[in-house]
Structure formats: structure tokens, C-alpha cells
Chain A
Amino acid sequence: MELLEQIKERYLDRLSPATFRSRLFWKTVEGLALSPLNRPQWKADRVSLAYFLRATRDAYLHRAPVVWCNLLTPSELVLGSGCIPFYPEMAAAVAASAGLAPRFIDRAAEEEFPSDACSYHRCLLGCALEGFLPEPDLLLAVNYPCDSAPLSFAFLGDLYRAPLFVLEAPLPGRERGVEELAGRMAEAARAMAGLSGRREREMMEGLSTAVELSNRALRHLREVEEMRKRDDCTLDGKDAMGNVSVLAGCLGSQAGADFYRLLAEELRERGCRGKNGLRIMWMHLKPWYSQTIFQILEKHGARLVCEEYTHATWEAMDPRDPFPSLARKLGGHFLVGAAERRVSHLVRLAREYRVDGAIHYNHWGCRQSCGSAPLAKGALQRAGVPTLIIDGDCIDDREYQEGQVATRLEAFLESLK
């Protein structure tokens, strides 16, 4: 987070939409990122940082058509079609880490988006309304994990006068639905290739390369997962949780494959730290503006050994047949359909990572995760995993009751010992 702090220090008082569209700003940021002081500890993180900085810079400078995506939009599809995927939900997390979210959330409230909606979306809507985000040429949302993306993207499509595509993942067991989804993906890819000027053949080549690279990332991710199951794994989930952005936004790029390759290599090299302690699973996302929860975990010798969103949940794809492959990958996601899938994903993780306890962070306004938290808790308890549900907000620190969270967390960790 040092990098973010330095950027804030230099730019906060003159932060304007124009700042992000200036080449000088990006030069400075890239310079800061290269400084040894700001270099992430893990080699893999250096790769993802460089990738996201480059992609975000290119999106602001409009070096290629920009496509806005939500968490489950397959980045392979966008990259393969020659466009830059931009994930405004991640931008909201970055704004929250920099302590800037409240300002944007208040802007969304002025537009009459009330506080009952997910603050990731209220924050990104506020950013968009203030002109802080790179203009999309197209918006590509998936109808999962939640309703927020298709709905807020509909508003944004009007705001930017850009076309909106919604990819509809079918319910489990609907084979025809997978075919329809593949067809819709092909339609979206053609629209994107039309923007980037790729002909059909180039587009298909681009997509097959993207799928190939995604497969490579998957192979290495599986190695990472095997190593994370070990008692002595040195990677803590509080850091690994950020990899949700890699899983969402980098697959299909060289950086995505390199990221997981380097992570696997480094985990192998770093080897044993020899620490025993409580093994905890984290469900949903974390508050991006505060470290308190993790300090408490550390104080109690507890470590996050797995997180809900950072694991491989699909099989290798066929690069010669990108649309059906990507449709199957998306359709098989554990967040698609009824809660049963999410619940069994969580129980499986808890078993494979031999966790002592699990924490569900209830992000206010997230009907999908808060909505199925009681079921997840019930199933985990039945599987012998004590589970704590804490209410909070990932983005808006004004909705975070630090004292209350700390008391409940401490009591829970004590009970696990």
C-alpha cells in the first residue's frame, strides 16, 4: 500500500479527472512503482502490479477500446478481442484503500442511489459521475454473482452512451443454456473486435491465445493451491485475497500466466516457516481500508489459509473452441445459480485446507453473499467448522464498527483455541 500512499501524497490536493488522463501522471506512477522502496515483496505481485498499471494507464489514455467488466466477466474474451478490460468494482476497492471512497459514495447519493445498495457499486457510480473513470466503449456484465452489475451498468451505459451486453450464465444442468451463452459470447466478442479493428480470423487467433494463456495460469494456480494446503505455507490469505483481481482481470494475458508461475516457484523456494496456528477460511471480501481484523488474527496466531474467491473452480479449456469453453467455465462457477453450489464450494475448501474456523464478512448491501451466509454457516458447522459472521462494509469505512468487529472476532478466536 506504500505506493498508493505516495501517489496520494503527491496528487491528493490536485486530484481531478484530468490527472488520470495525463501522461506525466502515469510516468510518475510507473516510476514510483519501480522504486525498490515500493517493490512488492512477492515477485508475482510485481508482475500483477505492472500489468494493472499498464492496463489502467492504457485505458485512461485510450490506447485501445475499453470494455467495462464485472467480477465474473471472462477477461479472456475481452483481451482476445483486442480490448482493454476495466473492472470498476476493483477501482472501487482501490478508492477505498486510498481512503477516497466516501467522497464518491456521497456523489452517488446525490444522484439518489441510496445507501441500501452495495457500496462497491455506489462508489464506482460516484467515480463515474465525477468523470474519474476511463470512458467505456462497451460494457460487458455477467448476471452473476449479483444483480448490482447488470443494473448499475445499465445506468452507466446510458451515462456514457455505450452499448451494454449482459452475458447470462444458465442455471446448473441447463445444457442448452451453455450453448446460448457461447453464442452470446461470440456476439459480444464480435462487437469488441469491431471496436478494436480485429478481423474474424485475428479475433479467433487472439481468443485462442488468450485461452491458452489462461490454461497455463490455471496449471500454475493448481500448483499454488497444493502448496497452500501445507501447514507451513508462507502465503497469508490477507495478501492472497487481493489475487481476486488477478483471477478476474488477468487471465488470458501473459501476466496472468507469469503471476501464478512465479507464485508457485516462490512458494516452493521460500518453503517452510514452521509456524503452527489456527487455520482460518475467509468468506466474501475484506474491508479494503483497514488492517485491524488481520492484526487481531495475527495476535491470536491465526492465519487465513484460504479465501472464497481465489481458487480454481474450472477445468482447462479448449483453445480451438473458445466460446463453448468460456461458456462452460463461466456456467460452472460456484456463484452461478442457487446457493447450494457456493455452500459446497466453501465446505470443500474448508475440508481441503483443514481449517479450524471460518469467517464470513457480511458486506452491507450484498444480497448474494449475506443472503447465503446463514446456509453456508449451517453447512460448515455441520462439517465441524465453527463459523463467525461479522457485519461490515468492504468499501465505506463509515459503516465499519471497529470496536464491535474486534470484540466478536476476539471472542471467536478465543473459542477456537
Chain B
Amino acid sequence: MDEDLITWFCAYTPLELLTAAGLKPVRSFGDPDRIDDSDAFLHPAICPYVRSCLAQAMQEEGPHHAVFVNSCDGMRRLHDAWKDLFPDGFVFLLDLPRNVGKSGERMLAGEYRHLLEALRSWRGREISHAEIKAACRAREELRREYIRAAEGAGGGERLLLARHFQSAPQDAASPAATRGPAATAPGAGRGVPVLLTGNILNPAGMVSLLEEAGARVVWADLCNGDRAFAAPTLAEGESLGEVLGALAAAYLARPHCARMLDGERRHRTLVENALRAGARGIIYASLKFCDSYLYEYPRTREMLQREGIPVLRLESDYADGHAGQVLTRVEAFLEMIS
């Protein structure tokens, strides 16, 4: 096993710092088919993505280095179980503010310092602000590459591309080696245009079902979709403090997931994206047991109703073995908006 590989889970992970430390960050997508393997460590009413990630790690040889973000109860519990199961790995829990704005930026920059300190004592070397800036530039190159590749691609394909860009081992030295699969965009331009919003979806599950039903996902507002690539995380500055401050600000300026507090901005971005991409409706699809998206739905629905944008709510168990059951609902929704 490559000692430089480090697993990450949440889209708020500052990959630039990991790359700057000479690591190869790889996002885990878990193994939804073996989710039950995690039962003894994580309650079945916890996010299936989180449980799938643990289940997959349990099948793999060490060293199980991982960075967790304290983004929700589920992620925190994944961190706890992981640390308990794999005590030899480098395991770090990075805090994430809910309050955006200056205080949030300060807090997040402080967290980056803690992460750097932990990385320094693990790797035995300092990480300079020049290395971080270089890693930011390499990330930005990758982000642009994703955007180019995803141009005109369908929903399932966008998610596969995103998965590739998030989970192929990448380091600052060889970003180009990670070029993703070319988008063949079958059926591009066909189907009812919809915007998909939610947390993490399985490209082989719910998303392909939507396409089967006749939807064309024009924007995947998912943390394993377009959202993670929607804005740069380029940081500049002449000192470590400046660079970390800029990086924190950049992460907090990206389109947010529902766990953040500025619902108003999130709603505005959602509507803007739907209009820009020509979506006729919004499909709000999230993983079961994800409180952030579960509590957020009634507010989003209200807001979309006010804006006159139709919305359909779906839930996924990540493996999506029974996703076919919602086919009729999806078809009826598409018919209504087409």
C-alpha cells in the first residue's frame, strides 16, 4: 500500500494542504453493497455513505490514513469508528464552521494551521506557503479540466467524472496524469432538463434512473458533482498566514452544502444555477439519514414554490437497489414540467 495515500470524505477537505505535504488525497466512495459490514460500529440509521466508507475500509489493507471534516454527526461518528478500528493510521478531524463570514474564515484558517502542525509532526517536515500555493495552482488546473470534460455530459457521466477527479490519486507533480474519461455525452441535448441538488449520490444508482426516466441533468449540485468544482480554491499571499486565510475564504465562498448556515445564499445560487442551465425543474435527492438535507427540504421547497420552480423530493440509500420504485414519480414529474 502506498504510504502517501490519504483518504478524504467531505468536499470541505482542504486537498491543497494534503498535496503540499506530499500526500496523494483520494476520496472514498465506499462500498454500498457491503454496507452491513459496518453495522457493529455504526448504527443503521446513520448516513449510508458514511457506513459504506467504513465497510470498504474494513476490507482493505492499511495504513488507513484519513482526514475527516467535522461537518455533521455522521462524519464525526465515522471519524470515531475509524480511529478506533485503525489506530495505526494518521487520523485528523478538521473542524468546519457553520457561520460563514469573517469569524468562520478565521476559525477555518486556524483549523488549517492545526492540520499543518499534525502533518508536520507526522511527515517530519515543514510545509511552506510556496508549496501550498503550488498545490492550489495544480488543483485549479484539475478543476478546469473537470469543467472542460463535463461540458455537455449527462448526469451519470458528470458524477463519474467527478468521482474520477476526486478519487484518482493526485499529487502536485502529476495533475495531468489524472485526466478523466472523455465525456461521450450520449443523449446530450435530449430529455427534460433538470437540476439535481443534494449531497452525495451514486452515479450508478438514482442518477442513471433519472436519465432512464427521461431527465437530462444539466447541473449536478452535489458534493460529488458540479458543486465541488464550481469555484476555485486558489490562494495567494506572501506569508503562511495570508495563504491560509485566503484558502479558508475560498472554501467558504464556494457554493455551500446544506449544513452551512447561510440558507439565503444557497437558495439564491440554486435558483441562479437552475435558470442559467435552463432547468425546467429541480430534483432534490439526498441520502437517507442526512439531517442537513432532511431538515433543509421544507425551506427549499417553500422558496422554490415562491420562485415558481417545480421540485421533486427523492431519497437514496446509496446502493439504490430499490430506486426503480420511484420511477413512476419521476416520470410523472418530468411529464408535468416538460
Q: A104 → chain B, closest Cβ, in Å?
A: 15
Write the B103-123 contact mask toward A (1 if CB under 8 angstroms, else 0). Answer: 100110011001000000000
In chain B, positions 62-89 with a C-beta closer than 8 Å to chain A are 70, 72-74, 76-77, 79-81, 83-84
Q: Is B298 an interface residue (CB 8 A)?
A: yes
Write the A157-184 contact mask toward B (1 if CB under 8 angstroms, else 0). Answer: 0100000101010110110110010011
- Cβ B74 vs Cβ A367 within 8 A: yes
Set of chain A residues within 8 Å of B74, measured between Cβ atoms:
367, 371
In chain A, positions 125-149 with a C-beta closer than 8 Å to chain B are 143, 146-148
Q: Which chain B residue shows the least CB distance to A117?
A: B294
Q: Which chain B residue shows the least CB distance to A167?
A: B99
Set of chain A residues within 8 Å of B302, measured between Cβ atoms:
158
- Cβ A374 vs Cβ B42 within 8 A: yes
Q: A323 → chain B, closest Cβ, in Å?
A: 14
- Cβ A364 vs Cβ B297 within 8 A: no
- Set B47, B97, B298: member contacting A155, Cβ < 8 A: B298
- Cβ A372 vs Cβ B298 within 8 A: no
- Assembly CA distance A113 to B294 (angstroms): 7
Q: In the complex, identify which listed stretch (B5-13, B210-218, B222-230, B284-292) lies at the interface while the others stay far away.
A: B284-292
- Cβ A171 vs Cβ B70 within 8 A: yes
Q: B206 → chain A, closest Cβ, in Å?
A: 16
In chain B, positions 115-169 with a C-beta closer than 8 Å to chain A are none
Number of interface residues of A (CB under 8 A): 45
Q: B106 → chain A, closest Cβ, in Å?
A: 7
Most chain A C-beta atoms within 10 Å of own C-beta, residue among B73, B107, B288: B73
- Assembly CA distance A168 to B295 (angstroms): 19
- Cβ B95 vs Cβ A174 within 8 A: yes
Contact size class for B?
A: 35 or more
- Set A111, A112, A154: member contacting B263, Cβ < 8 A: A154
Most chain B C-beta atoms within 10 Å of own C-beta, residue among A147, A166, A370: A147
- Set A155, A174, A339: member contacting B80, Cβ < 8 A: A339
- Cβ A113 vs Cβ B298 within 8 A: yes
Q: A241 → chain B, closest Cβ, in Å?
A: 22
Known: A147-B73, A176-B110, A338-B79. A371 touches B291 (CB 8 A): no
Set of chain B residues within 8 Å of A378, measured between Cβ atoms:
84
Q: Which chain A residue shows the least CB distance to B303?
A: A158
Set of chain A residues within 8 Å of B73, measured between Cβ atoms:
146-147, 367-368, 371
- Assembly CA distance A362 to B43 (angstroms): 9
- Cβ A168 vs Cβ B97 within 8 A: yes
Q: Is B280 an interface residue (CB 8 A)?
A: no
Known: A151-B295, A166-B261, A370-B46. A116 touches B76 (CB 8 A): no
Write the B291-326 contact mask toward A (1 if CB under 8 angstroms, else 0). Answer: 110111111011000000000010100000000000
Q: Is A385 an interface residue (CB 8 A)?
A: no
- Cβ A371 vs Cβ B93 within 8 A: no
Q: Is A114 an interface residue (CB 8 A)?
A: yes
Set of chain A residues within 8 Å of B110, measured between Cβ atoms:
174, 176-177
Known: A171-B93, A171-B95, A375-B84. A370 touches B296 (CB 8 A): no
Q: Which chain A residue shows the least CB distance to B293?
A: A151
Q: A254 → chain B, closest Cβ, in Å?
A: 33
- Cβ A155 vs Cβ B295 within 8 A: yes
Q: A380 → chain B, closest Cβ, in Å?
A: 14
Q: Is A340 an interface residue (CB 8 A)?
A: yes
- Assembly CA distance A121 to B298 (angstroms): 14
- Cβ A370 vs Cβ B295 within 8 A: no
Q: B184 → chain A, closest Cβ, in Å?
A: 37
Q: Which chain B residue shows the least CB distance to A164?
A: B261
Q: Which chain B residue shows the least CB distance to A363?
A: B45
Q: Is B41 an interface residue (CB 8 A)?
A: yes
- Cβ B45 vs Cβ A374 within 8 A: no
- Cβ A116 vs Cβ B45 within 8 A: yes
- Assembly CA distance A148 to B298 (angstroms): 14
Q: B101 → chain A, closest Cβ, in Å?
A: 11
Q: B104 → chain A, closest Cβ, in Å?
A: 9
Set of chain A residues within 8 Å of B76, measured between Cβ atoms:
338-339, 368, 371
Q: Is B40 an interface residue (CB 8 A)?
A: yes
Q: Which chain B residue shows the least CB distance to A151?
A: B295
- Cβ A372 vs Cβ B77 within 8 A: yes
Set of chain A residues within 8 Å of B268, measured between Cβ atoms:
none
- Cβ A154 vs Cβ B80 within 8 A: no
Write the A232-257 contact mask toward B (1 if CB under 8 angstroms, else 0). Answer: 00000000000000000000000000
Q: Is B259 an interface residue (CB 8 A)?
A: yes
Q: Is B98 an interface residue (CB 8 A)?
A: yes
- Cβ B114 vs Cβ A371 within 8 A: no
Known: A166-B99, A338-B76. A371 touches B298 (CB 8 A): no
- Cβ A112 vs Cβ B103 within 8 A: no
Q: Is A124 an interface residue (CB 8 A)?
A: no
- Assembly CA distance A338 to B302 (angstroms): 35
- Cβ A177 vs Cβ B72 within 8 A: no
Set of chain A residues within 8 Å of B46, measured between Cβ atoms:
367, 370-371
Q: Which chain B residue shows the least CB distance to A155?
A: B299
- Cβ B289 vs Cβ A116 within 8 A: yes
- Cβ B77 vs Cβ A147 within 8 A: no
- Cβ B297 vs Cβ A117 within 8 A: no
Q: A135 → chain B, closest Cβ, in Å?
A: 18
Q: Which chain A residue shows the least CB distance to B111?
A: A174
- Assembly CA distance A292 to B43 (angstroms): 25
- Assembly CA distance A265 to B103 (angstroms): 46
- Set A116, A174, A176, A184: member contacting B294, Cβ < 8 A: A116
Q: Is A90 an interface residue (CB 8 A)?
A: no
Set of chain B residues within 8 Å of A168, measured between Cβ atoms:
97-99, 107
Q: Is A71 an interface residue (CB 8 A)?
A: no
- Cβ A113 vs Cβ B98 within 8 A: no
Q: A391 → chain B, closest Cβ, in Å?
A: 9
- Assembly CA distance A158 to B80 (angstroms): 34
In chain A, positions 366-415 with a C-beta closer than 8 Å to chain B are 367-368, 370-375, 378
- Set A116, A166, A170: member contacting B95, Cβ < 8 A: A170
- Cβ A147 vs Cβ B291 within 8 A: yes
- Cβ B40 vs Cβ A374 within 8 A: yes
Known: A112-B297, A151-B295, A371-B46. A180 touches B83 (CB 8 A): no
A-B contacts, 22 listed (Cβ < 8 Å): A111-B298, A113-B298, A121-B295, A146-B291, A147-B72, A147-B73, A148-B295, A150-B98, A151-B259, A151-B292, A151-B296, A155-B295, A168-B99, A170-B95, A173-B114, A174-B114, A183-B103, A368-B77, A370-B43, A371-B80, A374-B43, A375-B41
Residues on A close to B: CB < 8 A? 111-114, 116-117, 121, 143, 146-148, 150-152, 154-155, 158, 164, 166, 168, 170-171, 173-174, 176-177, 180, 183-184, 337-340, 362, 364-365, 367-368, 370-375, 378
Given contacts A121-B295, A150-B98, A368-B73, 8 further A-B contacts (CB under 8 A): A147-B259, A155-B299, A170-B95, A177-B110, A367-B47, A370-B45, A370-B46, A374-B41
